[in-house]
Structures are given as C-alpha cells and as structure tokens.
Amino acid sequence: MFKYSEKVMDHFMNPRNVGQIDNADGEGTVGNPICGDLMTFYIKVDNGRLTDLRFKTFGCGAAIAVSSMVSEMAKGKTLDEAMKITNKMVARELGGLPKNKLHCSNLGADALHKAIEDYRNKKGKRGKRK
C-alpha cells in the first residue's frame, strides 16, 4: 500500500493559491473523465511573468495537492519557464505519487499550460486589432 508523502498531505490539507481570479489574463481547464478530476487555473501576467495564479480543483486529495504544488512552482516564473513544468517535475517535487494517481500530475501541468496558451492567444488577438 502506498503512503502519501508529507508534502502531498501538507498541500492537500493546506492548499496554496486556491480560488478564482476575476478578469484573469488566462484561464485553462482540463478534466479526466476516467477519474472525474477537474482543474482550472487562472493567471495574471505582468511583463511576461506570472504575478498571480489561482486554481479550483474538483477531485481527490492528490489532485488538490498537485494543483497547489503547480501553483507554487509556477508563481513568479516567466511564461516560458512555467511552460517547462512537467508532470514528472510536479510528482518529484511532491515526493512521489502512487502510479494510479500520476494522471493527476498530468492534469495540473496541463491546466497551467492551457491558461498560458489562453493568455497568449488573447494577447495575440488584441495585438492584431491595431
């Protein structure tokens, strides 16, 4: 039987950066119909850097811990740096996840990446309207 690391339990019991950002610069939602987990990331960007990010996650304890960890790993990073955050990095930073929960780490990184892509798409469209 797999025991969750202290870091996973800490991020599950005391998640960081929970919530929604009104008028977010970017928003990304991913879900896994197999397990029912759903994650949404909201980001604020200033000068190419993530100045604020929040998440809402509907899912298991591992999914909540992953969302919390991704938000901590990405805060203050440039968009390019945040796009390099991978599921393996998140799982490693949490001290490991059981194999049947590794899909949660995929969702966290994917939701963040979608929010950044959303921001870049919006920025590109705004720039073309001149």
| Contact by Cβ (8 Å): 40, 29 | yes
Catalytic site residue from 8, 104, 109, 112: 104
- For the four alpha carbons of 121, 123, 126 and 130, in that order, the dihedral sign comes to negative
For the question of residue 60 being annotated catalytic, the response is no
Catalytic site residue from 9, 18, 35, 102: 35
For the question of residue 104 being annotated catalytic, the response is yes
Residues with a known catalytic role: 35, 104
